[in-house]
Chains A and B, each alone.
Chain A
């Protein structure tokens, strides 16, 4: 017994799509649900029956549950209540909501990762529509955006969100905590079709291996053949120095990201708009990632109101060799994607490569050549991706090949 009263969740005038739960274990009297909700007329009965179902699942027979609800969806209410139960009793049970079929997809190693939208792991209101904003990836964050006392709750909420929130094809990413807590976080997310794990404040290849092995053992336990990609985040001087080793620590690493707030703090200098203080770290990280054949991803741009500044930042980033950037607000997504997206010259070159590849295939040739230059298969794959992207961004029509009137080569 850990006590008899537990509080979870959030309430208040600004809180939406969440609820606050006060669970008090009793010695008799059955389950009493005291519900205050703006949607009581519409969903009162279903909230009460869900509450009773969950408590019965955990074997709680006598309790007073006070719910102050501001329009929380069922998976949120379930997460809040499960967290409250787990604050009071020890159990290995997990009340898992249905896993929606829309989220049964995997992602590929070489997909574009221009934009990744960070979502605080304990803020359900921001999760529900996050997938609508067309980010390449969505990061459910268990680390810095979650207050220390809310970390346990966030794990359960994130686990439920992975089951119930439609991510509309975005790569499903979770940023775990550092150290032991981070390894424990994995158990809440790895079995539920997470596509990628971000490892924060990564300083050594050994730690990446530790995380990778833990993931593999969890997947094995769940008889899952999934591959979970890794994206270590470099946020310290030692991390920068070890970045090439880190980049090669596991075959599942697909990208290396940079976190400049902590890095500049580590250097003991302020982070400036020009970014001279982080120039070495940025170029070093790009080189390490490229040498290891993975994607270098730049730090987030923290002024969400400054779209012009963001635009400039993205162009610098692209010119240094970065292939993506984190987003802390959905409005940044379009600007960042636009910035990293292929320009005219890249699109034209990719067109030529794709056409050359198709011509070679038609002629049964094993080798693709563009003029006198041999083209490697990864370059072809890249060109195909560029074309796909250009079509999806509306830069070229889907039927661009039909529009060609002259032979290019």
Chain B
């Protein structure tokens, strides 16, 4: 079914209504001014809650019933347990048994372990997902099989939508590695420790009802409490909330790939020669093999120069923890711990501080962390000649990834994308991105194994590396080089139907994803 669209400020046709709700087209970076007041959940009263503070109920099913689970509700869950999550699927299994229909699943991210929800999309329990969709779930959406329209948001966009009332969560199901009977909860301790559970903070404050599910109930008070019991309705104790080895990798590893190591070396060298790397630098890099290698090379350079980083923002890994314990970084502000070493560090190092995405990424806030970062290392599935980036679809048009914090991180001072020029014949630099996730004006440098392209908007950076011996090229030259090797790719063919909308950090619609032509 064709929907009426208008052209947004990025030149993309987007609808004015999504899932029956009005949608605002993207207006350009920083141009949308929100009005009105923040959303507020109903006012509770202590008289409805046990005086002894014990909110434990017998099962998740009972908690859902007590929360009044019914058709059309929005249910939120979180990806703290990553691919080891045993709770999210269970919620919909129970809802399906209770014959509830048309739910909206609002996860902070989904993982391969969540693929079974496809059966609850098929049986009508779930109408749509508003959150990240990877692998088979993404394919399902791209093939137009989901009833409602998917809505993709960044981590920061998710909390903005909650705060602004764009998404009204009816029931938030918070999975907590450790909790007390009052509902105070944290990410460390127990057998399912994941380190940090800050993604659930906004949900706990704004949801109609809040359920904490744990497999490690401890005596009051659970301290330090990341989630405060004053927001929690019910506590459920289960045998296991997660599969430990799938929650955090035992250890994150630097890439072995010589090509990726080369990209990492070039990135570190660029950071050094451009002068971006300096004493007191603040940086963020992910847990991918290339990012970790960059962190290792950067650490080495800083150590040689006797420099220190003021703070790093995590996704923390053992490599970041090494900088902390080496005295080379003062603080790790941590939204999620990627390996066991960093989970342990949260308990042991006073400088390793849990930090929710609510504080770090929310654009409708009085400032946030991302614009304070000097160096931001990010990836992309595609980048186009205008430096626009795509992280959600592949060049074949299929939706395969979530946005994560990617859009939020684009506000850092220097946004650097170390990416291979092509992956198994698939060029990464294209004429125009299949799906626009981030405007080119925010993406500063593309570092590939065959050359470095700096956004012409960043003349200061171009000047800074003149005569440095780095292999500088234009993005057009990089694209031509890739096409000379791989050939000029055909474009995927889409149908009219919109299967997903991509929101910008301010809640406006930056692009849509259309159904793949079968």
**Chain A contacts to B: CB under 8 angstroms:** 16-17, 38-46, 70-74, 128-129, 132-133, 329-331
Q: Which of B471-518 contact A (CB under 8 A)?
A: 485-487, 489-490, 492
B449 engages A74 (CB within 8 Å): no
Assess the B424–A16 pair: CB atoms within 8 A.
Answer: yes
Q: Is B30 an interface residue (CB 8 A)?
A: no
Query: Majority SS of interface residues in chain B?
Result: loop
B261 an interface residue at 8 Å Cβ cutoff?
yes
Determine how close the nearest CB of chain B comes to the CB of A121; give it in whole angstroms.
18
Nearest-CB distance from B203 to chain A (Å)?
37
Q: Which residues in window 260-316 of B have CB below 8 A to A?
A: 261-262
Residues of B within 8 A of A43 (CB): 425, 486-487, 489-490
Q: Is B426 at the interface (CB under 8 A from chain A)? A: yes
Q: Which 4 A-B pairs have the closest CB atoms?
A: A71-B424, A330-B258, A42-B489, A41-B396
Q: Tell whether, in the assembled complex, residue A39 and residue B262 are in contact, meaning their CB atoms are under 8 Å apart.
A: no
**When chains A and B are docked, how far (Å) is the Cα of A222 from the Cα of B490?**
38
Contact B425 A39 (CB under 8 A): yes
**Residue from A17, A45, A74, A132 in contact with B262 in the complex, judged by beta carbons closer than 8 Å:** A132
Establish whether residues B490 and A42, one from each chain, have CB atoms under 8 Å apart when the complex forms: yes
Q: Give min CB distance, B481 to chain A, whole Å.
A: 9
A331 near B487 with CB under 8 A, answer no
Q: Who on chain A is nearest to B263 by CB? A: A132
Which residues from 370 to 398 on chain B have a C-beta closer than 8 Å to any C-beta of chain A? 395-397
- In the bound complex, residues from chain B placing their C-beta under 8 Å from that of A72 are 425
Interface residues on chain B, size class: 10 to 19
Whether A133 and B489, one on each chain, are in contact in the complex, defined by CB atoms closer than 8 angstroms, is no
**Complex contacts, B450 vs chain A, CB 8 Å:** 132
Sample of 7 further A-B pairs with CB below 8 A, known A43-B487, A133-B258: A39-B489, A43-B489, A70-B424, A72-B425, A128-B485, A132-B450, A331-B261
Please determine whether B258 and A73 come into contact, CB atoms closer than 8 angstroms: no
Complex contact A129–B424 (CB within 8 A): no
Complex contacts, A38 vs chain B, CB 8 Å: 424
CB of B258 within 8 A of CB of A331, answer yes
A44 to B489: give the CA distance in the assembly, Å: 9
Residues in B neighbouring A331, C-beta threshold 8 A: 258, 261
Name 11 A/B residue pairs within 8 A (Cβ), A-sorted.
A16-B424, A17-B424, A39-B396, A39-B489, A41-B397, A42-B426, A42-B489, A43-B490, A70-B424, A71-B424, A330-B262
Kindly state the separation between the CA atoms of A132 and B266 in the bound complex, as whole angstroms: 12
Q: Which residues of B contact A39 (CB under 8 A)?
A: 396, 424-426, 489
A73 to B427, CA, bound (A): 12
Contact code string B231-267 (vs A, CB < 8 Å = 1, else 0): 0000000000000000000000000001101100000
Report chain A residues within 8 Å CB of B397. Answer: 41
A42, A128, A132: most-surrounded residue (chain B CB, <10 A): A42
Q: How far is the CA of A185 from the CA of B485 in the complex (A)?
A: 26
A71 to B487, CA, bound (A): 12
Q: Measured between alpha carbons, how far is A354 from B424 in the docked complex, in Å?
A: 47
Is B426 within 8 A of A133, CB to CB?
no
Of B395, B423, B486, the contact of A73 (CB 8 Å cutoff): B486
* Minimum C-beta distance from A212 to chain B (A): 34
A40 to B395, CA, bound (A): 11
The answer for the CA separation of A45 and B487 in the assembled complex, in Å, is: 11
* Residue positions of B touching A, CB distance < 8 A: 258-259, 261-262, 395-397, 423-426, 449-450, 485-487, 489-490, 492
> Contacts A42-B489, A43-B487, A44-B490 known; A71 to B426 CB distance under 8 Å?
yes
| Residues of chain B with a CB closer than 8 A to A42's CB | 395-396, 425-426, 489-490, 492
B398 CB to nearest A CB, Å:
9
Number of A-B contacts (CB under 8 A): 57
User: B423 to chain A: which residues have CB within 8 Å?
Assistant: 71
How many angstroms from the CA of A176 to the CA of B396 in the assembled complex?
41
CA distance A74 to B487 in the complex (A): 8
Task: Give A42 to B398 CA distance when docked, in angstroms.
Answer: 12
A128 to B449 alpha-carbon distance, docked (Å): 12
Contact A129 B449 (CB under 8 A): yes
Question: Shortest Cβ distance from B5 into chain A, in angstroms?
Answer: 24
Residues of chain A with a CB closer than 8 A to B395's CB: 41-42
A41 touches B492 (CB 8 A): yes
Cβ contacts under 8 Å, B262 to chain A? 129, 132-133, 330
A90, B476: Cα distance in complex, Å: 45
Using Cβ atoms and an 8 Å threshold, which residues of chain A touch B261? 331
B258, B262, B425, B487 interface centre (most CB from chain A within 10 Å)? B425
Cβ contacts under 8 Å, A129 to chain B:
258-259, 262, 449
How many Å lie between the Cα of A331 and that of B424 in the bound state? 21
- Set of chain A residues within 8 Å of B490, measured between Cβ atoms: 41-46
Question: A128 to chain B: which residues have CB within 8 Å?
Answer: 485
Q: Contact: B259 with A71, CB < 8 Å?
A: no
Q: Please determine whether B425 and A71 come into contact, CB atoms closer than 8 angstroms.
A: yes
> Max chain A CB contacts within 10 Å: which of B261, B423, B424, B490?
B424
For the complex formed, measure the closest distance between the CB of B478 and the CB atoms of chain A, giving whole angstroms.
Answer: 14
Known: A46-B487, A73-B486, A331-B261. A17 touches B425 (CB 8 A): yes
Which B residue's beta carbon lies closest to that of A102?
B484
A44 to B490, CA, bound (A): 8
Q: Which residues of B contact A44 (CB under 8 A)?
A: 490
Tell me, rounded to whole Å, the shortest Cβ–Cβ distance linking A124 to chain B.
11
- Distance in angstroms from A53 CB to nearest chain B CB is 14
Residues of A within 8 A of B489 (CB): 39, 42-43
Q: How far is the CA of A70 from the CA of B426 in the complex (A)?
A: 11
Bound together, the chains give a CA A329 to CA B261 distance in angstroms of 12
For A46, list chain B residues within 8 Å (CB).
487, 490
- Nearest-neighbour CB distance to chain B for A166, whole angstroms, equals 8
Q: CA of A40 to CA of B516 in the docked complex: distance in angstroms?
A: 14
For B424, what are the chain A residues with a Cβ–Cβ distance below 8 Å? 16-17, 38-39, 70-71
Q: How far is the CA of A45 from the CA of B493 in the complex (A)?
A: 14
Closest CB of chain B to A21's CB: distance in Å? 16
Least Cβ–Cβ distance between B258 and chain A, in angstroms: 4
Q: In whole Å, how far is B390's beta carbon from the nearest beta carbon of chain A?
A: 14
Which residues of chain A are within 8 angstroms of B426 by Cβ–Cβ distance? Answer: 39, 42, 71
Alpha-carbon distance between A404 and B247 when the two chains are bound, in angstroms: 60
Distance between Cα atoms of A73 and B426 in the complex (Å): 10
Question: Complex: how many Å from CA A38 to CA B396?
Answer: 9
Question: Which B residue sits closest to A132, measured CB to CB?
Answer: B449
A402 CB to nearest chain B CB (Å): 15
Q: What is the CA–CA distance of A43 and B490 in the complex, to the nearest angstrom?
A: 6
- Smallest CB-CB separation from B259: which chain A residue? A129
- Distance (Å) between the CB of A374 and the closest chain B CB? 37
Residues of A with C-beta under 8 A to B259: 129, 132
Among B395, B426, B485, residue most surrounded by chain A Cβ atoms (within 10 Å): B485
Report A-chain residues with C-beta under 8 Å of the C-beta of B485: 73, 128
A41 to B427, CA, bound (A): 13
Residues of B within 8 A of A73 (CB): 425, 485-486
Q: In the docked arrangement, what's the CA distance between A72 and B425, Å?
A: 7
Q: How far does the alpha carbon of A169 sit from the alpha carbon of B32 in the complex, in Å? A: 52
A contact residues around B396 at 8 Å (CB): 39-42
How far in angstroms is the closest Cβ of chain A from B140?
18
Residues of A within 8 A of B487 (CB): 43, 46, 74
The complex places the Cα of A279 from the Cα of B261 at a distance, in Å, of 35
Q: How far, in angstroms, from A128 to B490 measured CA to CA in the complex?
A: 22
A146 to chain B, nearest CB (A): 21
Q: How far is the CA of A250 from the CA of B472 in the complex (A)?
A: 43
Nearest Cβ distance between residue A296 and chain B, in whole angstroms? Answer: 27
The interface residues of chain B lying within 8 Å CB-to-CB of A45 are: 490
| B493 closest partner in A (C-beta) | A41
- Give the nearest-CB partner of B265 in chain A: A334
- B424 — nearest CB in chain A belongs to which residue? A71
Kindly report which residue of chain A lies nearest to residue B484, judged by CB atoms.
A100
A17 to B425, CA, bound (A): 7
Complex Cα distance, B397 from A305, in Å, reads 39
Using Cβ atoms and an 8 Å threshold, which residues of chain B touch A329?
258
Which residues in B have their C-beta under 8 angstroms from that of A133? 258, 262
Nearest chain B CB to A272's CB is how many angstroms away? 27
B178–chain A nearest beta-carbon distance, Å: 39
